[in-house]
Amino acid sequence: MKKSIFIFIFTMITLCATETFSPLLQIETNGTVKDMVLDKQTLLLATDNGQVQLYDYKQKTFTRNIILPHVKDFMGDLIPARVFSVDVMNGRYLLLSDSGKGGYANLWIEEKGVLTQLLNAKDKQAAIKARFITKEKILLGYLSNEAVLFDVVTKKEIFRVQLSESKFSDFALNIDKSQAVFACESGILNVIDTSSGKVLHVLKGINVDNVYKVDFKQAIVSGAGQDRRASLYDLTLNKGEYIEGSFLIYATGLSPSAKRVAFALDEQNNISIFERKSKRKIAELKGQKSTLNTILFKDENVLFSSSDDNTVIMWEIP
């Protein structure tokens, strides 16, 4: 009888245990990946080696590289520009890179093999993230926690909004690009209208320190906090909650439906996948060797992750 009870309990624990998954595909890049976006079946991988590498994950091959001019370091030596933000829209590529001078950025558009520079060090712009809103309008996040909408045609700002005095960390667009959530070192998140810069929501009370990364899907915001809190906000309910981590949380990602959420919760660089509503952990992804910086869902079952090295991993969960 005791043996039967033991077997039953053991079986139930086994069935309820979180399933662990290994990488489906590993992609080796030519430098440390600083940003990553997905365009249909092509990954855009921005590296600190002055390039954006385009990788077709179905064909399992690199299709081409977009290479930026070298910049001069403080010693006057030519070095590859760190590309720390990349995006694409209708065949037009957006690259934000280090200029090598005073912490200011270079902003580039690449289309049909032609590079056009929109901002350089002389403009003295400390932007660190850029995303297309339309083909002619770009949203920029500044170190000073300013949100700027920039017109590609006129090369002028449409609006500039100071969100707080805290240092900017990250921003993420919702699916239709009508809104963006901005994160900073205070732990307070601001959701803005991307056409006007108007602040629509101020999300606070969950994170009490720097939020490194955010994602935004279906009126749900997830945040990766230095305070070991994996935050979740529902804008329709005006409600926030969190999942406790065991280490600083550097990355997060939401599935397209926002039914699933991923966080880097521990010191081993594992990715924990949760059912968002129940906060039940359903999977753990093991294989990333360095500090995670990006988690990107393709759909509800396939996702990609990058860390502070040259390995990008593709995962599949049921």
Q: Do 248 and 150 belong to one domain? A: no
Predicted local confidence at residue 61, as pLDDT:
98
Choose one of 92, 127, 162: the last residue of a domain: 162
Predicted local confidence at residue 75, as pLDDT:
81
Query: pLDDT-based confidence at 170, cuts 50/70/90?
Result: very high
Q: Do 222 and 97 belong to one domain? A: no
Choose one of 162, 192, 221: the last residue of a domain: 162
Predicted local confidence at residue 103, as pLDDT:
87
Q: Do 186 and 231 belong to one domain? A: yes
Maximum distance among all Cα pairs of the chain, rounded to whole angstroms? 80
Q: CA-CA distance, 102 to 250, in Å (whole number)?
A: 26
Q: Do 188 and 314 belong to one domain? A: yes
Percent of all residues in the chain with a pLDDT value above 90, rounded to a whole number: 91
Q: Do 195 and 286 belong to one domain? A: yes
pLDDT digits (tens, 9 = 90+) for 305-314: 999 999 999 9
Q: Tell me the residue range of the domain where 186 lies.
A: 1-30+167-318
Q: Do 155 and 172 belong to one domain? A: no
43 within 8 A of 92, measured Cβ to Cβ: no
pLDDT digits (tens, 9 = 90+) for 25-45: 999 999 999 999 999 999 999
Residues 6+ apart with CB under 8 A from 182: 141, 145, 147, 163, 168, 170, 171, 189, 190, 191, 192, 214
Q: Token digits for 29? A: 């890049």
pLDDT digits (tens, 9 = 90+) for 210-233: 999 999 999 999 999 999 999 999
Q: Do 259 and 141 belong to one domain? A: no
Q: CA-CA distance, 42 to 302, in Å (whole number)?
A: 14
47 within 8 A of 30, measured Cβ to Cβ: yes
Q: Do 178 and 287 belong to one domain? A: yes
* Mean pLDDT rounded to a whole number for the chain: 94
136 within 8 A of 171, measured Cβ to Cβ: no
Q: What is the count of structural domains for the chain?
A: 2
Q: Do 311 and 174 belong to one domain? A: yes
Predicted local confidence at residue 243, as pLDDT:
98
Position 142 pLDDT exceeds 70: yes
CATH at residue 275: 2.130.10.10
Distances (CA, A) of 88 to 36, 41, 47, 80, 109: 11, 13, 16, 21, 9
If you average pLDDT over residues 159-173, what whole number do you get? Answer: 98
Position 8 pLDDT exceeds 60: no
Q: Do 298 and 263 belong to one domain? A: yes
If you average pLDDT over residues 166-195, what whole number do you get? Answer: 98
Choose one of 162, 191, 219: the last residue of a domain: 162
pLDDT digits (tens, 9 = 90+) for 36-82: 999 999 999 999 999 999 999 999 999 999 999 999 887 888 999 99
Query: pLDDT-based confidence at 17, cuts 50/70/90?
Result: low
Predicted local confidence at residue 107, as pLDDT:
98
Q: Which one, of 180, 282, 188, lies nearest residue 240 by Cα?
A: 188
Predicted local confidence at residue 10, as pLDDT:
30
| 83, amino acid identity | V
Q: Do 25 and 41 belong to one domain? A: no
Q: Do 74 and 182 belong to one domain? A: no
Predicted local confidence at residue 74, as pLDDT:
79
Position 7 pLDDT exceeds 50: no
Predicted local confidence at residue 80, as pLDDT:
96
Q: Token digits for 207? A: 């994170």
